[in-house]
Amino acid sequence: MKIKNGIYKGAQGRESLFDLSIPENYNGHLIVFIHGFMGFKDWGTWNLVQDFFNSYGFAFCKFNISHNGGTIQQGIDFPDIEAFGKNTYSHEIKDVECLLKEIKPYFKEQVSIHLIGHSRGGGTALLAAEQSKVNSICLWASISSISDRFPDDDALNNWKATGVRFVSNARTGQKLPQYYSLYEDFHQNKDKLNIQEKASSCKIPTAIFHGDADQSVAIAEGEALAAWLKTNLQVIRGADHVFGAQHPWKQNEMPNSLIELCKLSLQFIQIKAN
């Protein structure tokens, strides 16, 4: 069974898109993939990642964060910059909960859930995992801190005074807004959004993967996560932040670094699935 561009209602009731595939050799386990900042479910090689795990019997769901800037009419890139500007980390955690509730009826029996989070999506996976009752987590080039991503002093004061700051998307050429409500949400929910505390107390089996050529999220963040989770960081040699992929991706096969990453993640999930 395959659903392409299904609709779920995420944070604040905003509609967004999801893809769900359940292969004929379904093994009773579901992988949910959470994209990162300025990402979307159909970015680059994510469709090939879905095919990879389906081939081993795993159901696979990937979805657009409700406030990632996409719409149900146009889920690729960021046509709704107002929605992008209103996104918060709390919204993203809520989206995971809403998405799982939406797709539950497609499974006749209880399903074991495994989260894969890329970049900012890795932070979301850790923060959402306990309340979503997942069986394992894979962190791909994950962030280790939300607070470190906010400006200090004068820049923060200016953001508060103007109510908005802008971030550039080099690929699309867009200047995307971020409203000060993003910082306010973090400040009001510091305990819930503290990745270090969540990682340090996490009882869910978690694997951490990071490329040693990552220029977007430093490998030191992966090392910090590994220390808090009391596990090993698995380094993908020569891999950048997206493990050799790009958007658009016109080839039928994943780049070598991403193949290595998927195989290592598969090994980990299969062990936790048994």
How many C-alpha atoms does 168 have within 13 Å on its Cβ side? 3
Q: What is the rounded average pLDDT of the residues 127-151?
A: 95
CA dihedral (100, 103, 104, 108) in degrees, to 10, reads -150
**Residue 130: pLDDT band by 50, 70, 90 thresholds?**
confident
pLDDT surpasses 80 at 273: no
- pLDDT at site 132: 85
201-244 pLDDT, tens digit per residue, is 999 999 999 999 999 999 999 999 999 999 999 999 999 999 99
**Residue 266: pLDDT band by 50, 70, 90 thresholds?**
very high
Length of the chain, in residues? 274
pLDDT surpasses 80 at 274: no
Query: How many whole angstroms separate alpha carbon 167 and alpha carbon 85?
Result: 10
Percent of the chain with pLDDT over 70: 100
pLDDT surpasses 90 at 272: no
How many C-alpha atoms does 239 have within 13 Å on its Cβ side? 24
Q: Please give the domain boundaries of the chain with CATH numbers for all domains.
A: 2-147+193-273 (3.40.50.1820)
pLDDT surpasses 90 at 112: yes
Query: How many whole angstroms separate alpha carbon 116 and alpha carbon 272?
Result: 14
- pLDDT at site 131: 85
State the average pLDDT for the chain.
97
Strand partners, 32: 61, 115
20-66 pLDDT, tens digit per residue, is 999 999 999 999 999 999 999 999 999 999 999 999 999 999 999 99
**Residue 89: pLDDT band by 50, 70, 90 thresholds?**
very high
Q: What is the rounded average pLDDT of the residues 165-180?
A: 97
Percent of the chain with pLDDT over 90: 96
- pLDDT at site 150: 97
